[in-house]
Amino acid sequence: RSASTCTRMGEAYPDFYHVKTPWGIKRFRMGDRCTNPLDSWPDPEVYLHYPSRQMLAYMDIRNLNRTWPGRPNGAITERTTWAMTQLIRREKVDMAVDLHEAELEYPVENTIVTHEKGQSVAAMTSMVLTAELFEVPLSMEFSPQALHGLSHREIGDHTDAMSLLVEVAEPMIDRIRGITDEYLLMTGRDEFVMKAGEHKLLYAPIDERGWPIDVRVGRHSSTFQKMLEFYSLEAPDRAVIISGVPGYTEVIENTLGTYFHDPKQAPPEKVFYD
């Protein structure tokens, strides 16, 4: 909740973004993955990760993907990841998937990063989606064993779950982008990022089509569903079967807004206010 009250400091992100649906416009608050500094103050000179004691950047004490597995008496972000670690243990979670977007200047792009436990699931997902569905290939990398705090390393090390993280291209995060507005967020189109691509400075392709939100959501949806499929083949006694979930092709063809329910049609007894 804290991270939903702020955006990345100094980046001039919009406060809100909007998705067109058949019943109107759905508004989302633009948040961050880092805890609001007003809720976690002060930052240390150096963040000492627990329990590895690896030294990380000072702001990473608020970074939800640098504080795993967390601790119950730490800062608020450490307490949050500790709570999620306990949830994974108590619910006997078999597979934890972390969905991310990354700048095109970042080498780990359009990639599954996997703990050793998820090697076969990640490899098969990467191979099949690259061959059969995605225009831009989905690669696979192993989680670095010496880099601590990340979900794909610590969940696998500290729980019984296999842990995987998936990246998709997001020009809005690139340092060389132009105006940082809702148009860039939703369309993924930016002439400056395209120019960098022409000079071979990027790790993902980009053209005038950009990386629209429908493509990004569709890739994540199909990747997650394919992971479940291959996990279920490996563990048929604990198979996870889902249906009716739109994937890459459906989200692009129908647009993301098609799949949002009208909140005004929700049963009153299922509506809660925070």
With respect to residue 229, please indicate whether it lies within any of the assigned structural domains. yes
pLDDT digits (tens, 9 = 90+) for 11-27: 999 999 999 999 999 99
Q: What pairing do the DSSP bridges indicate for beta strands 24-29 and 16-21?
A: antiparallel
- Check residue 273 and give its pLDDT: 82
Counting beta carbons within 10 angstroms of the beta carbon of residue 169, is it exposed (0 to 12), middle (13 to 18) or buried (19 or more)?
Answer: buried
- Check residue 271 and give its pLDDT: 86
The dihedral over CA atoms of 104, 108, 111, 115, expressed in degrees to the nearest 10, equals -160
- Check residue 274 and give its pLDDT: 74
With respect to residue 161, please indicate whether it lies within any of the assigned structural domains. yes
The whole domain housing 82 covers 2-259
pLDDT digits (tens, 9 = 90+) for 194-249: 999 999 999 999 999 999 999 999 999 999 999 999 999 999 999 999 999 999 99
With respect to residue 116, please indicate whether it lies within any of the assigned structural domains. yes
- Check residue 54 and give its pLDDT: 98
With respect to residue 181, please indicate whether it lies within any of the assigned structural domains. yes
Return d(Cα 212, Cα 220) in angstroms, integer.
13
Residue from 197, 156, 191, 198 nearest 177 by CA = 191
Number of domains the chain contains: 1
With respect to residue 271, please indicate whether it lies within any of the assigned structural domains. no
Intervals of the chain under pLDDT 70 = none
E strands, 81-158, where? 95-102, 111-114, 139-142
Q: What is the CA radius of gyration of the chain?
A: 19
